[in-house]
Chain A
């Protein structure tokens, strides 16, 4: 008996000591082992592509660059962005921890999320890229022009560029790429969405794209991986299955080693076409090593300990932890936002009173706190973040503030309606299923929403959790009710909004199954003009209508970050070949062309 007391007395404090050290809040890891994070690769960052949604997480973070209230000023340097890329120093290796491995490096065939895009940008160059102002300029393209109705786009390539295998980049290369892209698992969807009919080379450097219907936002698609990342078509056609292990692009680096789930190494390309503004041959780095590290805490620890010298994250909690370290933070607070959707084809969510009532009872601020994002994430009211050029106050004003009594009143209207769509008797509670993937932060957010909804005494909330693949499958199969999801991104609004608003019978992207021809007509009109003010007004109206119909809810924007050793420079202030500053690091993705190590 005495022995047992001694054993227990020794055991408990030792266990607690281990747990405390492991879960400590200083510069070490979080205690979560997010084995499910490896599947984030199923989604793609919105990079001007027509792929609508990203990971179905319900909103992680929106970073401000300020430390959290009440905390000591972190030693972290939050970098000032928007200074032009400075002249660099040659040499060195950047080793960056990614949140997931790339499924593959075939732009036409393999889905490419943030980690993959970081890799792809070292091997391939895009035809177009997004500037800091949000528009699109040529990267490999020297210029692009449209005809009057935006159905024919004429692109002129820069001269003198070769692929890494020595083959010249010509307009015919782009045309030959199209033949492969038409059959690609990923590219074909993009081509179908934008109704791209043909791609022809009219001379050595001139490519003509012909669309079935006008699209003023077409250049944004040429900034995305599936259509815009240029690969050598002959090499791809010769061995499509293995091209991802020997990719050929025009990028600043070439693939040296591909050890899947461990490391991918790219080394400086000998014949890269770009020079810096001061004439320096680019790139500066000798190599870049990409290490997929799914666990957030381990990824941060790897960067802090020097196992890697950079890391990316799409999680607010990790942004918060990384701020406490000596790493330099490049945070991006963009339009990518978490939240969820109501399946308007399912009772009782087909009734606008129910959706509006539930939305009014959704306390977004509390959800943000539950997600651990207070001080990091801002309240979201529309498809765009407040820093986006598309954001409008009019749209913001239509998103409901938390109004519990107002929500109850709307639900009561439905409950008292003898013709209520769910067929239940007057006075009976409504049934709602709320489903999110099994992420610890999402579970906390779900529970906040569930508690508020259930607290109305009007709603029976059934919480369900499925692994990410099943969660996505349920959405695609319309087997969802209130469903966690993620919206928007930094690309052109049409890329995400048009599929979202199109006829649900035709468009996979209209996951809420909300058919509103009037709103869709606004979306179509927005790509029939290139007048920015006109487009902005149209998107404002679209967001107002989405808010009024209460199709989706928001749980705060998503802050992402690239955290690096302070010696690494030119991380977020990359420039286009024209000298225009790029858009920065949305979704923790950047270009490595001008990056350098200052301690070489």
Chain B
């Protein structure tokens, strides 16, 4: 157990070092100067410009800047945004719950819909139910999530007036209000994921249903429903778990389009603004955080394998 934990920690540290170094390097290579974002194209006082450059250590060599950042980061100081002057850690802590909730809701909705569709597709393989679900999945995969998002806004906000078109009510503002603002963006994200998850479940389930123990269960007279959800679903879920973990990690930084469309103050929206503004410290901070989350989530997924599959536990 200790060995496992040590291995995980080592892997995390190595990943973070690689990610932060590469991110720092790539941002440093980008054309554009954060001072220009701060000062704009207005006439500038050279003394003030020099002072800003000095305060932000912009004239230091790349490795020195990276080393300084790393030294501060290990103590929890991720620096301040060049643009807003807000501590990066504060920005992340304000944004994270929003993106986390969005990612969680979209994954939850996807899995909720994908499992019955996938199971049905496998159970009724080659029948009209499978064909119809395959068609629906293909449509869902074909539609970019932002197009679907625009459609949802048009339908539920503009036409029906049921839900707000944009922005976010935080959990602290009330659960109902929060859910009202979260539903449409989460749904927009969920569509493509639902399609992928359902195909995964279906193909894994088809293989599982051909196993001998399934035949035994049928021979014993167990109901199809019991066989599907009690015996076949669990072993068919291992691939899904992996994909869910990867998707969740990807969503933490990959919701930028949906967050921008719905004007949601999440990590993705903050990240794209930081990139556009060459806000290096904010880019670094968010990237590090996402990298940590990726590793943590995938570790949890690995551990959950053991929960789902007793054979792994015994190993």
Contacts and interface: CB of A to CB of B under 8 A. Distances in A.
Contacts of A188: 44-45, 47-48
A18 B158 contact: no
Given A10-B135, A22-B150, A43 B260 contact: no
B272 interface: yes
B52 interface: yes
Contacts of B135: 6-7, 10-11
Contact of A43 (B40, B126, B138): B40
Interface string A29-55: 101010110110011100001111100
Given A38-B272, A104-B85, A190 B139 contact: no
A33 B154 contact: no
Contacts of B273: 38-39, 101, 261
Contacts of B264: 262
A298 B166 contact: yes
Contacts of B263: 97, 261-262, 291-295, 298-299, 302
B273 to A, nearest CB: 5
Contacts of B262: 298
Interface in B205-237: none
Contact of B265 (A27, A191, A259): A259
Interface string B177-189: 0000000000000
B1 interface: no
B67 interface: no
A517 B135 CA distance: 70
A389 B165 CA distance: 41
Interface string A461-481: 000001111101111100000
Contacts of A302: 157, 164-167, 263
Nearest to A194: B43
Interface stretch (B28-36, B246-254, B301-309): B28-36
Task: Categorize the interface residue count of chain B.
Answer: 35 or more
B24 interface: no
Interface string B240-282: 0000000000000000110011111100011011001110000
A398 B180 CA distance: 57
A506 to B, nearest CB: 9
A433 to B, nearest CB: 15
Nearest to B126: A3
B42 A186 contact: yes
A35 B270 contact: no
Given A33-B257, A466-B31, A470-B30, A103 B42 contact: no
Interface stretch (B57-65, B101-109, B115-123, B140-148): B140-148
B299 interface: no
B269 A261 contact: yes
B283 interface: no
Nearest to A262: B265
A298 B150 CA distance: 8
Contacts of B30: 470
Contacts of B164: 302, 305, 307
B253 to A, nearest CB: 14
A18 B143 contact: yes
Nearest to B147: A22
A38 B277 CA distance: 9
A183 interface: yes
Contact of B131 (A3, A184, A467, A509): A3
Interface string A500-539: 0000000111010000000000000000000000000000
A193 B161 contact: no
A97 B45 contact: no
Contact of A50 (B37, B43, B52, B132): B43
B199 to A, nearest CB: 13
Contacts of A409: none
A11 B138 contact: yes
Contact of A261 (B45, B131, B143, B270): B270
Interface string B79-104: 01001111000010010000000000
A311 to B, nearest CB: 10
Given A15-B139, A192-B45, A294-B263, A469 B36 contact: yes
B204 to A, nearest CB: 20
Contact of B83 (A35, A103, A291, A511): A103
Contacts of B294: none
B31 to A, nearest CB: 5
A393 B232 CA distance: 82
A475 B40 CA distance: 11
A82 interface: no
B265 A15 contact: no
A232 interface: no
Residue of A31, A292, A476 with highest tally of chain B CB at under 10 A: A476
Given A11-B135, A261-B269, A18 B151 contact: yes
A572 B96 CA distance: 39
A19 B147 contact: yes
B38 interface: yes
B182 to A, nearest CB: 13
Given A469-B277, A476-B36, A35 B42 contact: no
Given A6-B135, A262-B265, A298-B263, A185 B52 contact: yes
Contacts of A44: 40, 42
A43 B261 contact: no
Contact of A39 (B91, B158, B277): B277
B5 to A, nearest CB: 37
B157 A305 contact: yes
B43 A192 contact: yes
B38 A111 contact: yes
Contacts of A126: none
A74 interface: no
B197 interface: no
28 contacts: A3-B126, A15-B139, A22-B147, A28-B150, A28-B158, A43-B40, A49-B42, A189-B43, A189-B48, A190-B43, A192-B44, A193-B43, A261-B273, A262-B170, A262-B263, A291-B263, A292-B263, A293-B263, A301-B166, A302-B166, A302-B167, A305-B158, A306-B161, A307-B157, A307-B166, A307-B167, A308-B166, A467-B32
Closest 5 CB pairs of A and B: A51-B42, A188-B45, A261-B265, A262-B265, A293-B263
Interface of A: 3, 6-8, 10-11, 14-15, 18-19, 21-24, 27-29, 31, 33, 35-36, 38-39, 42-44, 49-53, 97, 101, 103-104, 109, 111, 183-186, 188-193, 241, 244, 259-263, 291-295, 297-299, 301-302, 304-308, 466-470, 472-476, 499, 507-509, 511
Given A190-B43, A293-B166, 7 more contacts: A29-B150, A29-B153, A104-B83, A189-B43, A301-B165, A305-B165, A499-B43
